[in-house]
Structure 1
């Protein structure tokens, strides 16, 4: 079981993550998206496509761009389309 937490609050937990470039991508159903808000940030990966980002708010404190996902992944990255990954320097992954 892989679990992601922020300040003691669990953001995601799953046995079914997909590893890509040393990042766990979590199925959307395993993520507590009620703690998330959309970020205005986006980036482009040459082989995965355009990533969108989430901010997370815990106890009134917001951490910007804590997670990212590919809403329309390229053909080479379809296995992670819609799955959510987290920045290791902003959360605890165990």
Structure 2
């Protein structure tokens, strides 16, 4: 599975390494292309997953604000509910990023 925007590869991982949570596909941290994500100051808290960290996606021609996020320290109950430890896994805003 690949995540791309403006023809730039953001992440690439085999399906068995992707974690699906509430319709979003989360990519393992080591599958994300280095240099494409820049930490955003945007705060967000999910009641059941915990505090999210947002990222701006950077391409050579544009910066997409808050187009990716992860849970650096998800709640243990969230990990149990999902059935997989998704700590640090990155999801992308599918209205701007193509997932295929």
For normalisation by structure 1, the TM-score amounts to 0.93
**Separation in 1, partners of 2:40, 2:11:** 18
Per mean C-alpha deviation after superposition, the further-off stretch among 71-80 and 48-57 is: 71-80
Q: How big is the shift at 1:20? A: 0.8
1:79-90 to 2 correspondences below 5 Å: 79-90=85-96
**Separation in 2, partners of 1:3, 1:60:** 20
Q: How big is the shift at 1:33? A: 3.2
Higher strand share: 1
Q: How big is the shift at 1:60? A: 3.6
Deviations 1:11-54 (A, max 9, x none): 00111111111111110000013111110012111110000111
Q: How big is the alpha-carbon RMSD for the aligned residues of Structure 1 and Structure 2? A: 1.0
Give the total of aligned pairs: 93
Q: Structure 2: state its 5+ residue gaps.
A: 80-84
Say which SS state the counterpart of residue 76 (structure 1) adopts: helix
Q: Which residue of 1 aligns with 2:26?
A: 25
Structure 1 runs (4+) greater than 4 angstroms displaced = none
**Separation in 2, partners of 1:39, 1:69:** 11
Q: Structure 1: state its 5+ residue gaps.
A: none
